[in-house]
Each structure stands twice: as structure tokens, then as C-alpha cells.
Amino acid sequence: MAQVDSTQRCSDSNPPLGDSALVKPMPPFRAIGDLLREHAKARPQQPALVYDGAQLTWQQLDEAMDRVALALQRDGLVPGDVVVLCGANALCLASVFLGALRAGIAVAPLAYNVTQAAFQAMLQDAAPKRVFVDSNAAELLAGLDLPHHASAPWIALDEKGPGIPLEQWLAPAGGLPARVEIRPEDPFNIIYSSGTTGIPKGIVQPHAMRWAHIHRGAQYDYSENTVTLVSTPLYSNTTLVVVFPTLAFGGTVHLLAKFDAGRWLAEAARHRVTHAMLVPVQYQRLLGHADFDSTDLSAFKMKFCTSAPFSAALKSDALRRWPGGLVEFYGMTEGGGTCILEAHLTPEQLHTVGRPAQGHDIRLIDDAGLEVGRGATGEVVGHSPGMMTGYYNQPEKTREAEWFAPDGKRFIRTGDIGRFNDEGFLVLMDRKKDMIISGGFNIYPSDLEAVLLGHPNVREAAVVGVPSVEWGETPAAFVVRREGSEPISADTLRSWANDRLGKTQRIAQVLWIDELPRSAIGKVLKRELRGQVF
């Protein structure tokens, strides 16, 4: 084991950046259901949730949560039981989510744009006592064989959804559910991984993890005056990272069913939006929209980004043209360690993902599980107050995701390769599973993608490793043409890139495609790309 003073690690021993210096010790834990009831008493007529011209005031949301919680208790559900939500962003879906939390029920929000096999696997894994669905899930449910869940009634969130109509299932208005004592370690939700590497795993996030996210919101200007615009789905942790702090501080959440750059800009200006979480491809499309520079975004206090690589050039463009702060969160749904880049305060570090958040311990390890020396690259592992309990019903997968320091301290493995620079900022190299080993040399796809993105004809690029008889693996690049650019051949672009790459990095094949395949939160699905080569 390398000596402690020569290993690469970063933690809260680093001085916090900018506004982070204002972070105070974690206050005593509060359950989200209790916080929201207090807002309903303090500001009953203020909008809490808004969607497509309709809204729920704080008082109406509080009453809706009570009806959900009381109905679940009436049906015999107890704290620790699980309910599934599957539908598009909507007031009723958000109300059921929050009402279940008030009853101490863990919520498993599932994507409806997955294969039927993946959906059935997630349902069987979650073993829910109730399943809430809307019409978007109709295709998934057609002919679904779920004998294991015959005892879990289906409840329809809209008129075309299958099951008992929500209004018929809800408890009568005016009743109060029995108060439930919720502990920090109790399960809050189960977020299923996006499935980019196979069948999704259920990530159990405790109330303590969400409380840590809420506490962190104090340093980013959340208040009762916050207006947050949400355009990513509620089944994504990316979305929930801003939804719960907004509600916990008494602000207003505006929900969009799906992302459209033109509509997003119009809604942001109309409602004087102050906060938003966007993934990199959304920043790209907004900044590239014809209406961006003429849209009034002056109310913005803070913009966030996470979930996928955020290029330095795109960050720089957002800083230059978009009012308010820009913060990038690097971390995993599983929790562990988070790095934060307050880009508006450290514009010289845009090539990094920031430094560890307060109370977060980030280290780098090699393939043998030993911490690497200073200046070396290694897999990123992290420990923090916000960590998953484990993968639901999958103890072996949980163990695979953990790394323990010699003193027994538990860390979560990220699968990312990185290094710390001299200022303590984390520079990511690539995903460990995406690293290409060609002729015995390690090739980081992100390095090749950065070169390709330097060509004026390229808007997006993704590089994957494909089998090679001569080298074992060799790089193949998928590129999306920049709008309005002159067409060039794949061979011309490959030669241009290879002239700028080292001998061991050279790209074997370039393929032009219309769009990169992405998950609902903007992650490029490299698994799908690999199947398209030859």
C-alpha cells in the first residue's frame, strides 16, 4: 500500500470553493413530508407544482399527499414497502411520489421507454405493493406476464392508463394519515440504473441521502422564491437532485413532459425561472437555438449539469451567454463521492469536474485496489454522507460496487478513470469499461473525441473499441455532422484526426450518423454503437 502522504486523494480537507465556504454543519434530519406540510401552512396559496397550465398550490399539494398516504395505509401498506410509478412528468405522478414518502413507502419510479423485458425485470425486482401507470406505459403492459405481482393492483394516473382510476382509488379528501416516524436510514426511493450496460439495477437511496442533497441546496440560492424548470423525467436521479431541494425550501417546480429547446426557452422567460438542471446535450441544443440570445433569462440564479461529459468549450459558451452561476456535479446515482465545479468562480478549471464536496472523500485506486501515487491515474472511488444502501435484492452486485479502505471506511466505485491536478481538481479520463486496450496500450476514447470535436464539420462524436485481429481492440468513431457544414468523407475526417493523434491512438474507422443514441438523461449508449461496426 502506498504511503498516505504520497497517494492521490481529495476530501473536505481541501478548502471549499466560493459559495461552498458558506456551508454549515448538517442540521438535524427532517422528513420531506414534514417539511412540505410546514410550507403548506406558511404559504398555502403559492404554487408548488405547475404543469401545462395547471397547478397545485402548497395547500392543494399537501391535501393530495394526505389522500395518497391515507389510501396506502388503508390498503395495508407499511413503511419499507415499495410502490412503482411509471409515467410522464405530471402533477398526479409527482403527488403520488410525495404522498407515498409521507407514508414511509419507498418509491421506485420506472422508465416507460425501455424494453418490455427490462420493464418486467424491474417490476419483479422491486416487488411493489401498488403500481401507478399512465397511458405512456400502455405498450409495456400489453400482454405482460406478471403472476408474481397479481396481488399488486394497477392504478391509472390518466384516463387512458390501465387499472383503477386514481381518483377512485384515492382516500376521500379531508382525512389525515397516521403519522409515520421516518429514520435517516429508511429507504426513500429505488432508482433503477439506465440499463446502458444490461438489465438495470435498483439503487436504494435512503432518506439521509436526499437530506444531504437538500442541505447542499442552501449554498445555491434555493429559497421560497425559487422557480425550477424540470425537463428531464422524474424517474431520473438527475431530476430529483433539483426537485427535492426546490420543494424542501418552499419554491415552485415547473414540469415539462419532455424537452423541446424552443418551448423550454419560452417557459423559462415566461415564468422567470431561477434554477434548472440540464444535461450537456440540452445545453448544446439550447445554446444553439435561434431564439437563445433574444430570450430573457436574466432571472437565473443557478444552472446545474450532471449525468454525462460536459465539454470545456460548452461550459465556456454557457458562462459567456447565460446569466447566473453554472455548477457541474460529478457523481453517481449510487452516491459515494461528489465533485463540484462552480464554473463561474473557477473558469480556469473548465476542463475538470471540480473538487470534492464538503464532507466527501475522493480517492483513486489501481486494478489491485491500492491507492495510486500522486500524478498517476486510477479509478475514482468516493465516500460521503449520501451513499446508497446497496442494490435492491442484489448483494453480490453491491459488493462489486464497494471498495473498503484499510481502516474499513466504505467507498463506492465509479468505474471512471481520473487524476487530480495540482490544484486538487479532478480531471476525468474516461469510463474504465470504455477504455480501449490496443496493442497493449491504453486509449481513452475521450481524448479521441476531443480531437474529432475540433473539426469544424463535427457537432458530436463518440469513440468505441471494436475487435481487431492485429491489435485486440481498435478505435471506431461515430460522428454527427454540424448543421450547415460542407459534407466530407469519413476517410477524410479519419485522416484529419489521425494526423493529430499519437500512433497508438489512431482511429480505424469513422462512421457518419444522424444522431448518437442516448438515454433519457443524455448519456451516449456506446453499447448500441458497438453493434453497428461492420
* Helix or strand holding residue 464 (H, E): strand 458-468
pLDDT for 197 equals: 45
Residue pLDDT, tens place only, 319-373: 999 999 999 999 888 888 899 999 999 999 999 999 999 889 999 999 899 999 8
Per-residue pLDDT at 306 exceeds 70:
yes
- Residue 413's DSSP bridge partners are 381
Answer yes or no: is pLDDT of 6 > 70.
no
Strand residue runs (E) in 279-425: 302-305, 325-330, 339-342, 355-356, 361-365, 378-383, 390-391, 402-404, 410-420
pLDDT band at 7 (very low <50, low <70, confident <90, very high): low
pTM: 0.82
Output the pLDDT for position 9: 65
99 falls in which pLDDT band (50, 70, 90)? very high
pLDDT band at 26 (very low <50, low <70, confident <90, very high): low
* Angle 89-91-95 from CA coordinates, rounded to 5°: 110
- Which amino acid would we find at residue 469? V
Residue 22 pLDDT > 70: no
Give dist(CA 257, CA 230) in Å, integer. 9
Is the per-residue pLDDT at 20 higher than 60? Answer: no
Instruction: Identify the pLDDT of residue 533.
Output: 65
Mean residue pLDDT of the chain comes to 88
The arithmetic mean of pLDDT across residues 106-118, rounded, is 87
CATH of 435-530, one of 3.40.640.10, 3.40.50.12780, 3.40.30.10, 3.30.300.30: 3.30.300.30
3-state secondary structure of 259: coil
Residue 63 predicted with pLDDT over 70: yes
Give CA 346 to chain center in angstroms: 23
> Could you tell me the end-to-end alpha-carbon distance of the chain, in angstroms, rounded to an integer?
44
CB 380 within 8 A of CB 464: no
Length, in residues, of the chain = 534
Pairing of the two strands 361-365 and 9-10: antiparallel
CB atoms within 10 A of CB 500: 13
In whole angstroms, give the CA distance from residue 444 to residue 475.
10
pLDDT in tens, 196-209: 445 678 999 999 99
Q: How far is CA 262 from the centre of its chain?
A: 23
The answer to whether the beta carbons of residues 326 and 303 sit under 8 Å apart is yes
Q: What is the DSSP letter of 524?
A: B
Instruction: Give me the mean pLDDT over the 444-472 stretch.
Output: 88
403 with 369: CB under 8 angstroms? yes
Q: What is the pLDDT of residue 116?
A: 82
Which residue type sits at 196? Answer: T
User: Which amino acid does the sequence have at 502?
Assistant: G
Q: Looking at the predicted structure, is the pLDDT value of residue 139 above 90?
A: no
| pLDDT tens readout for residues 147-189 | 444 456 889 999 887 889 999 999 999 999 999 999 999 999 9
Reply yes or no on whether the pLDDT at 16 is more than 70: no
Give the separation between CA 308 and CA 521, rounded to whole angstroms: 8
Q: Is the pLDDT of residue 411 over 60?
A: yes
Q: How many CB atoms lie within 10 A of CB 313?
A: 13
Query: Can you list the pairs that 114-120 forms with residues at least 24 positions away whose Cβ atoms lie under 8 Å?
Result: 114/140, 114/195, 114/200, 116/140, 116/144, 118/195, 118/199, 118/200, 119/86, 119/144, 120/144, 120/145, 120/146
Q: Which of 191-195, 507-511, 518-522 has the lowest mean pLDDT?
A: 191-195
Q: Residue 16 corresponds to which cell in the numbers above?
A: 471549499
